[in-house]
Structures are given as C-alpha cells and as structure tokens.
Copies of this chain bind each other. A is one copy, B any other.
Amino acid sequence: MRQIFHDELEQIASDLVELAGLVATAIRQSTEALLEADVQLADRVIEGDRAIDDRRNDLDARSVDLLARQAPVASDLRTVVASMRMSSDLERMGDLARHVAQVARMRYPEQAVPTELRETFMRMGSIAERIVTEVAAVILSQDVAAAGEIERIDDELDVLHREMFTLLAEGAWQHGTTSAVDVALLSRYFERFGDHAVTVARRVNFLVTGQAGAVELPEESERS
C-alpha cells in the first residue's frame, strides 16, 4: 500500500515536471511568435494552452483521488496539497504565454514590439524559459539550493521589467500609446512568469525544510 502510494506520488512529481516542460515550450514559442510576428506560431501557443489546462486538470483529479484512496497525513499530505498548488502556478504560466501570443496575433502583420526593445524582450523570454526549466529540475531534485537560484533568476526579470517602465516614462517614449500599452502588459506578463516560478520553488523549499517562509507570490514590483 505504502509503496503504491509513493509510486503514485512520484508519478505526480513527474507529471508536474512534464507540465513545466510544456510551459517552457509555450514561453519559448510565444516569445518567438512575438518577436517574429509569426501568427501561425502564435495560434499554436493559443491552441496549445488547452493541452496545458487539460494536463493540469488530470493531475489535480489524480491528486484528489490519491487523497481519497490513501488518506495521507503529515509530509505525504503536504506533498499532495503542494503539488496541486504547483500545478495551479504552472497552469497560470501557460495562460501568460497565451497572453503573449495573443498580443503577437492582435498586432499581426505589424510587430508589437518596437525594434530597439526586441533585444530586451528576447532576454526576458529566454530568462522566463530558463526559470521554468529550473523549476522543473527543482521539483525533481528537491534541491533547496537550486530553489534559491530561482529567486536570483527572478531578480533578473524584475530588473528588465523596471528598465522597461523607465523607457515608458513620459517624454522618453516615441512609439505612441498603443505600443506603450502593449509593452507595459507584455513586460508584466514576463515578470509574472518569474513570480510564479519563485512561488513553486518556495513550495518545494517548504516541503523539504518545513520552513514556511513566504509561500505565496513574492511582492511584485510596485509599478507592475
């Protein structure tokens, strides 16, 4: 019985990792769709978000089923509950990738991002993809040190997000209102990838160390 339970817990962890993999792909593709004004790729991300939602719903249904059949307590129970919360963060990251793709789609055949900001958004996309890949590794390894590294990567995203808002300040911006609004929302989406990744990492940290700390979303920067 106990062995079956632990096999099932491992299956849930491995499904979370797979979910994170789907999200990493969605982030990479949505960034590319945005920067290349690739409407087919944007549509693929938008369509693909359903698969992420379905995967998350399956995972949660199995977690609830596990609770019902095995009635775990103590750390086993906390692990199942934490898994359901992590799946929620990952699913939300999938939504954010969809939002990025939707901006690309809406501006097509125009570029949503002014030329001189392409580089910054490319970096944000690449950091966001890296952070969710790291998250997958942390879920598997339960490595608390790596969980700390995720907070450091998130700081990089926050710095870029603040830079973006400096560029949007009165007088500095030369690309009109629509573009300013697009850039503000896009920058916020990328910054939120980081927040959700940090939340997942903190949940892993909590499971391993039992130290509560802040398991909710980190404080977002004031401007976001």
Partner-B contacts on A (CB < 8 A): 53, 57, 64, 67-68, 71, 73-74, 77-78, 81, 84-85, 88, 91, 95, 99, 102, 105-106, 165, 168-170, 173, 176-178, 180-181, 184-185, 188, 216-217, 220, 222-224
Once bound together, how far apart are the Cα atoms of A9 and B169, in whole Å?
50
Additional 10 contacts, C-beta under 8 A, given A95-B220, A106-B223, A169-B177: A64-B77, A64-B81, A95-B217, A105-B222, A106-B222, A168-B178, A169-B178, A180-B181, A181-B184, A185-B224
Give the shortest distance, in Å, between A80 (CB) and chain B (any CB).
9
Specify how many copies of this chain sit in the oligomer: 2
A71: which B residues are within 8 A, CB to CB? Answer: 71
A84: which B residues are within 8 A, CB to CB? Answer: 81, 84
A173: which B residues are within 8 A, CB to CB? Answer: 177
Once bound together, how far apart are the Cα atoms of A94 and B185, in whole Å?
20
A67: which B residues are within 8 A, CB to CB? Answer: 67, 77, 81
Once bound together, how far apart are the Cα atoms of A95 and B216, in whole Å?
11
* Docked-complex contact B185 and A177, CB < 8 angstroms: no
A61's nearest neighbour on chain B, judged by CB, is B212
A184: which B residues are within 8 A, CB to CB? Answer: 181, 184-185
A178: which B residues are within 8 A, CB to CB? Answer: 168-170
Name the one of B53, B73, B99 contacting A216, with C-beta atoms under 8 angstroms: B53
A180's nearest neighbour on chain B, judged by CB, is B177
Give the shortest distance, in Å, between A58 (CB) and chain B (any CB).
12
Give the shortest distance, in Å, between A129 (CB) and chain B (any CB).
22
A224: which B residues are within 8 A, CB to CB? Answer: 99, 185
Once bound together, how far apart are the Cα atoms of A216 and B94, in whole Å?
12
